[in-house]
Amino acid sequence: MTTNLKITLIIAAGMAAVIAAIVLFGRPEGSVTEPVVDTASGQPVPAEYLVRADSHKLSTAADDKVTLVEFLDFECESCGAAFPHMERIRAEYDGKINFVVRYFPLPGHRNGELAARVAEAAGKQDKFEAMYATLFQTQSQWGEASESKEEFFLNLAKQTGLDMAAFRKDLKAPETAERVKKDQDDGFALGIQGTPTVFFNGALLDGEPSYENLKAKIDAALAS
């Protein structure tokens, strides 16, 4: 089985689970309930739904010829499968592309929203990127749990070298949860139903977020 096929099957299974979870659990209270942007046309969507002033940019490029935006859930197995491909792309195209991460914790994932708050709280101490990577690297140790993994995340924060008093405060702060919800609302407005959902130069990515697919599109864009 090829890597692309594995990713496709994982994402397809994840999408089916997400749709079922949305039907069963519904969307977070107060969230946008209906899409307001058409992403199916393949045309770029309004930029304000993709990148906000406070969005986390893990890679930047001076010329802005390529921008990738990923809506993700740290507990999502499909996102975990895509993570190594994204990291390989970031390393290979360092300084040549913009890569922006948006939160989209899925209904039915017990610790997805909590993990997003963990990353956001770490970001308050300029450790977002380190926590982003650590959450995916340890996903098999906490993902799909039926109980809260807060203690596990607190240990991760300690290992990352965070000021624990400040981290605990930020983790529980209403503005941290609201920051996560803002990303979710943009995702719902875009009609996103599963993760990872990737936008390439403003349009919904055609195909899976595999290294090969992303590399081909990036090379074409940089050469134009």
Evaluate whether residue 34 is within a structural domain: no
Evaluate whether residue 22 is within a structural domain: no
The DSSP call for residue 45 is P
| pLDDT number for residue 27 | 55
Evaluate whether residue 11 is within a structural domain: no
Evaluate whether residue 17 is within a structural domain: no
Average pLDDT score over residue span 7-22 = 46
Say if residue 108's pLDDT is above 80: yes
Say if residue 20's pLDDT is above 60: no
Q: How far apart are CA 130 and CA 160, in angstroms?
A: 7
Report pLDDT digits (tens) over 75-105: 999 999 999 999 999 999 999 999 999 999 9
Core vs surface per residue 23-38: b (16+ CB within 10 A) or e: eeeeebeeebeeeeee
For residue 195, the one-letter residue type is: T
Report pLDDT digits (tens) over 50-59: 999 999 999 9
Say if residue 15's pLDDT is above 50: no
Average pLDDT score over residue span 127-150 = 98
CATH for 145: 3.40.30.10
Evaluate whether residue 174 is within a structural domain: yes
Q: Is 17 exposed, middle or buried (0-12, 13-18, 19+ CB in 10 A)?
A: middle
Average pLDDT score over residue span 201-218 = 97
Average pLDDT score over residue span 167-193 = 97
| pLDDT number for residue 33 | 57
Evaluate whether residue 195 is within a structural domain: yes
Q: Which of 116, 122, 119 is nearest to 104 (CA)?
A: 116
> How many CB atoms lie under 10 A from the CB of residue 64?
10
Instruction: Tell me the pLDDT of the chain averaged across its residues.
Output: 90
Evaluate whether residue 9 is within a structural domain: no
| Helical ranges in 138-190 per DSSP H | 139-142, 150-159, 164-172, 174-189
Q: List the beta strands (DSSP E) in the chain.
A: 56-59, 67-72, 98-103, 197-200, 203-204
Say if residue 45's pLDDT is above 80: yes
Structurally, the chain folds into a number of domains equal to: 1
Evaluate whether residue 198 is within a structural domain: yes
Say if residue 17's pLDDT is above 70: no
Task: Quote the crossing angle between the two packed helices 150-159 and 164-172, to the nearest 10°.
Answer: 140
Q: Which of 177, 179, 204 is nearest to 53 (CA)?
A: 179
Confidence of residue 18 (pLDDT cuts 50, 70, 90): very low
Say if residue 5's pLDDT is above 50: no
Q: Which of 80, 83, 79, 59 is nearest to 218 (CA)?
A: 59
Q: How far apart are CA 177 and CA 120, in angstroms?
A: 9
Q: How far apart are CA 168 and CA 200, in angstroms?
A: 35
CB 104 within 8 A of CB 198: no
Say if residue 148's pLDDT is above 90: yes
What's the domain range around 50? 44-223
